[in-house]
Amino acid sequence: MGHNWKQDKRKNIIIVGTVVFISILVVTLVIFLTKKPKFPKDLGLTIHNNDYYLEIAQNDKERKKGLSDRNKLCSNCGMLFIFDKEKEQGIWMKDTHIPLDIIWLNSQKQIIKIITAAQTESETIYLSQKPAKYVIELPANESLKLNLQIGDTIPFFDDE
């Protein structure tokens, strides 16, 4: 009997196709299961009965850019920085044209430090000096208007 090359070729194509399919499936599952949780791109937030709209910076590129290169910020607008780990966090005003309040929060969303960064366009790094997981930037002096204090909690996401 002669060898059936067409049948062998078909089997090889099926085997290779199955291996490729399973490999793609495994890689997709690994990526899906190891992917960090994604937050929305913006957040409506009430702080001491005042409503704010915060853009969210949740990756290195977004955190590095922050609110830089903007010439204005509405009075009830700002940015929420979400860091991967709770640790001492540094914020700078490089290429930032507007003065801001910088509010550091720990993983329990308690305020651990507040400063007003009035010096714009600065490469000075403002450090939390304690472990922080989040930073909220608001227009300068909003924290005074809101009477924010160290130890206050600002609930957002699942704990509202």
Question: pLDDT digit string (tens) for 7-28?
Answer: 777 888 888 888 888 888 887 7
Q: What pLDDT is attached to residue 51? A: 93
Our count of domains for the chain comes to 2
Is the same domain home to 29 and 55?
no
Q: What pLDDT is attached to residue 24? A: 85
Is the same domain home to 84 and 151?
yes
Q: What pLDDT is attached to residue 3? A: 64
- DSSP E strands, 58-99: 77-92
Task: Report yes or no: 42 and 54 within 8 Å, Cβ to Cβ.
Answer: yes
Q: How many helices (H) and strands (E) does the chain have?
A: 3, 6
Residue 37: pLDDT over 50: no
Residue 143: name the closest of 109, 106, 102 by CA.
102
Residue 35: pLDDT over 60: no
Q: What pLDDT is attached to residue 53? A: 93
67 C-beta neighbours (distance < 10 Å), count? 21
Is the same domain home to 21 and 86?
no
Residue 12 token pair: 């090889």
Task: Name the residue range of residue 91's domain.
Answer: 42-159
Q: What pLDDT is attached to residue 25? A: 81
Task: Report yes or no: 88 and 127 within 8 Å, Cβ to Cβ.
Answer: yes
Is the same domain home to 84 and 135?
yes
CA–CA gap between residue 152 and residue 155 (Å, rounded): 10
Is the same domain home to 31 and 46?
no
Question: pLDDT digit string (tens) for 51-103?
Answer: 999 999 989 999 999 999 999 999 899 999 999 999 999 999 999 999 999 99
Question: pLDDT digit string (tens) for 109-131?
Answer: 999 999 999 889 999 999 999 99
Is the same domain home to 53 and 107?
yes
Q: What pLDDT is attached to residue 34? A: 55
* Cα radius of gyration (the chain): 25
122 C-beta neighbours (distance < 10 Å), count? 14
Higher-confidence position of 37 and 5: 5
